[in-house]
């Protein structure tokens, strides 16, 4: 990441990522992202969704590999799910990751009982 007047020294890792995205997403173009959410908090992921939306509205295109239900919920996104079934177009509500997160948030123990002791 390029240093800007020492500002990067006072930022969290995720804030630095967002700053880098803001700097690079200034012009329309084709952007290929691989799990850009990896360093981001929930709130920062929402900010990234906003940046991607602005980019798309400005004529840019984004191809993004992600495990984030937040990023895949970007309005207007064409979602392709990759899994044992191969590749298939899918609606956000039908994504396996969305289903897993819903079930986990509803009852974490359903998942954790297989991982941690009682």
Tens of pLDDT, residues 23-51: 888 889 999 999 999 989 999 999 999 99
Are residues 87 and 35 part of one domain?
no
| Confidence bin at 9 (pLDDT 50/70/90) | low
Are residues 56 and 33 part of one domain?
yes
| Average confidence (pLDDT) over 73-93 | 94
Residue 23: which domain range? 1-66
Are residues 62 and 89 part of one domain?
no
Distance CA 65, CA 32 (A): 8
Better pLDDT: 1 or 38: 38
Are residues 82 and 62 part of one domain?
no
Are residues 91 and 56 part of one domain?
no
Rg from Cα positions in the chain: 17
In a domain, 71, yes or no: no
Looking at 25-90, which runs of residues are DSSP E strands? 30-34, 61-65, 80-83, 86-89
| Average confidence (pLDDT) over 91-96 | 94
Q: How many domains does the chain have?
A: 2
Q: Within 10 A of 64 (CB to CB), how many other CB atoms are there? A: 19
Are residues 39 and 91 part of one domain?
no
Q: What is the pLDDT of residue 1?
A: 43
Are residues 57 and 9 part of one domain?
yes
| Average confidence (pLDDT) over 90-108 | 95
Are residues 21 and 58 part of one domain?
yes
Are residues 95 and 62 part of one domain?
no
Q: What is the pLDDT of residue 68?
A: 94
Q: What is the pLDDT of residue 118?
A: 67
Question: Residues of the chain with pLDDT > 70: what percent?
Answer: 92
In a domain, 21, yes or no: yes
């Amino acid at each position: 990441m390029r240093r800007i007047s020492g500002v990067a020294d006072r930022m969290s890792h995720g804030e630095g990522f967002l700053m880098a995205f803001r700097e690079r997403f200034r012009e329309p173009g084709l952007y290929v992202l691989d799990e850009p959410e990896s360093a981001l908090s929930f709130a920062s992921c929402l900010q990234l969704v906003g940046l991607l939306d602005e980019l798309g509205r400005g004529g840019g295109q984004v191809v993004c590999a992600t495990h984030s239900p937040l990023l895949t919920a970007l309005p207007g996104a064409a979602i392709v799910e990759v899994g044992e079934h191969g590749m298939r177009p899918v609606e956000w509500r039908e994504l396996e990751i969305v289903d897993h997160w819903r079930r986990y948030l509803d009852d974490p123990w359903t998942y954790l009982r297989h991982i941690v002791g009682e």
